[in-house]
Amino acid sequence: MKRVKLDKIDRKILKNLQDNGRVTNVELAKTAGISAPPCLRRVRALEEAGYILGYHAKVNPQVLGYGVTVFAQVKLVSQAETDLKKFEDLILSWPQVRACHMLAGETDFILKIVAHDWDDYQQFLTHHLTTAPNVTSVKSSLAIRAAKDDPGVPIEV
C-alpha cells in the first residue's frame, strides 16, 4: 500500500466522497478545483493507499423492517486474546450485529444490533448472544432515536 501525503485537494476529494459516494468524477473534480483525469488518478491513489476502504449506500432500516436498534454491552469471562478473537469471529456470523467495538474498562464489547421489533431482539439475545461461549453478562439499551449518525470521520479542508 503506497502512502499518499494528503494535500488540500485530497482532503476535498475525501470529504466529498464521504458525504456522497455516488458523486460523479466530473462533479468531484469540479468541487476539488481540478479536471476529471487527475481527480480520478487521485481517487485511485487514495484507494490504493487505504484512505478509502469502500463505497456504501446508507439504507433506511425502518423501510426494510428493522424498527429497533439496541446497544448491547457484553462482558466476557476471560479477556485472553484467544477468547476475545473467538467472540469477534462469532459476531461476524451474526448479520443483526452491525457494529462491534472492544472497549477498555468494565465492559469488554459494545454491539450495535438491529432487529425487526423488541421480540425479535429478545430471540437474538436469548438464543445467540447470552448463550455464546465466554459471555458472562449483557446489558441492553434500546435506542429511542438517532439525533446524529454520520459515517466516517471529520475531514478538514
DSSP letter for each residue of 86-116? HHHHHHTT-TTEEEEEE-SSS-SEEEEEEES
Cβ partners under 8 Å of residue 133, min gap 6: 86, 87, 90
Chain centroid to CA 85: 18
pLDDT value at residue 16? 96
User: Of 65, 66, 13, 64, which Cα lies nearest the Cα of 36?
Assistant: 13
Domains assigned to the chain? 8-48 (1.10.10.10), 68-142 (3.30.70.920)
pTM over 0.85: yes
Cβ partners under 8 Å of residue 55, min gap 6: 17, 21
Tens of pLDDT along the chain (157 residues) come to: 566 689 999 999 999 999 999 999 999 999 999 999 999 999 999 999 999 999 999 999 999 999 999 999 999 999 999 999 999 999 999 999 999 999 999 999 999 999 999 999 999 999 999 999 999 999 999 999 999 998 899 999 8
pLDDT value at residue 151? 87
The three cell numbers locating residue 143: 435506542
Taking CA atoms, 86 is separated from 30, 89, 110, in Å, by 47, 5, 16
pLDDT value at residue 8? 96
pLDDT value at residue 62? 95
Chain centroid to CA 125: 21
